[in-house]
Chain A
Amino acid sequence: MVDPGELKQRIEAGIPGARADVSGDGHHFEAVVEATAFDGLSRIARHKLVYDVFGAELGDRIHALSIKTKIPETEETR
């Protein structure tokens, strides 16, 4: 079993400035990740940043990870 809190910590440590909310049942997880690093990146590139945090653990130890990415609201985008 994998703790969603571990995934949250690793995403936040692995992507500079990221904030993550992760929920899951120990095998299937859903992550909502907000990071300025996503700005200007395609959806694919954003998701890859998150996948890269876990590498080969995806599909193995982490059976499934569903991802939603966001760019944090800043003064300008408000």
Chain B
Amino acid sequence: MSDVASNPMRDAIANAISENPVLLFMKGTPDAPACGFSARTVAILQQLDVPFAAVDILPDPRIRQELSGLSGWPTIPQLFADGELIGGCDIVVEMYESGELQEALGLEGASGLEAPEAAASEPAPLAIENRL
């Protein structure tokens, strides 16, 4: 129903997902989460000491709309690793507790992880707080 032609917001989200090895869409920022589920997910990533990028979806309602359209996932937060949706808070917690999250994030012997530079040269419609 919606215009399938040019959609800069959707493109920016898709690019962010493919360019950031670990990317969290959340309400608020890692330092100031605006929702308990986002806070919990951030806490787990910080606990694992995994570098991650974060996008605050609150400043623009289109972010959430386009993100959910792309991922097919209706709620926030949404954690992506290597371009794939891992899940929301419940799944992240479950996988953390079972050790699967560490595996999905490539944390086993992950000392050689390269932190790619997410060069944000142009002003993007998405503010990505880079934690890499």
Binds B, one of A2-10, A14-22, A44-52: A44-52
In the bound complex, residues from chain A placing their C-beta under 8 Å from that of B90 are 47, 66-68
- From B74, B91, B95, name the one whose CB has the most chain A CB atoms within 10 angstroms: B74
Number of A interface residues in the complex (CB < 8 A): 14
In the bound complex, residues from chain B placing their C-beta under 8 Å from that of A66 are 37, 89-90
Inter-chain contact A64/B75, CB cutoff 8 Å: yes
Number of B interface residues in the complex (CB < 8 A): 15
Inter-chain contact B74/A51, CB cutoff 8 Å: yes
> Does A43 have its Cβ within 8 Å of any Cβ on chain B?
yes
Nearest opposing residue in chain A for B84, CB measure: A44
> Does B21 have its Cβ within 8 Å of any Cβ on chain A?
no
In the bound complex, residues from chain A placing their C-beta under 8 Å from that of B37 are 64, 66
In the assembled complex, the Cα of A48 lies from the Cα of B73 at a distance in Å of 7
In the assembled complex, the Cα of A51 lies from the Cα of B72 at a distance in Å of 10
In the assembled complex, the Cα of A48 lies from the Cα of B95 at a distance in Å of 17
Q: Which of B63-83 contact A (CB under 8 A)?
A: 72-76
In the assembled complex, the Cα of A39 lies from the Cα of B94 at a distance in Å of 17
- From B73, B88, B89, name the one whose CB has the most chain A CB atoms within 10 angstroms: B88
> Does A37 have its Cβ within 8 Å of any Cβ on chain B?
no
Inter-chain contact A43/B75, CB cutoff 8 Å: no
> Does A58 have its Cβ within 8 Å of any Cβ on chain B?
yes
Inter-chain contact A43/B91, CB cutoff 8 Å: yes
Inter-chain contact B95/A59, CB cutoff 8 Å: no
Binding site for A on B (CB under 8 A): 37, 72-76, 85-91, 94-95
Known: A51-B73, A55-B74. 17 other contacts (CB 8 A): A43-B91, A43-B94, A43-B95, A44-B73, A44-B86, A44-B87, A47-B90, A47-B91, A48-B73, A56-B74, A58-B74, A59-B74, A64-B75, A66-B37, A66-B89, A66-B90, A67-B90
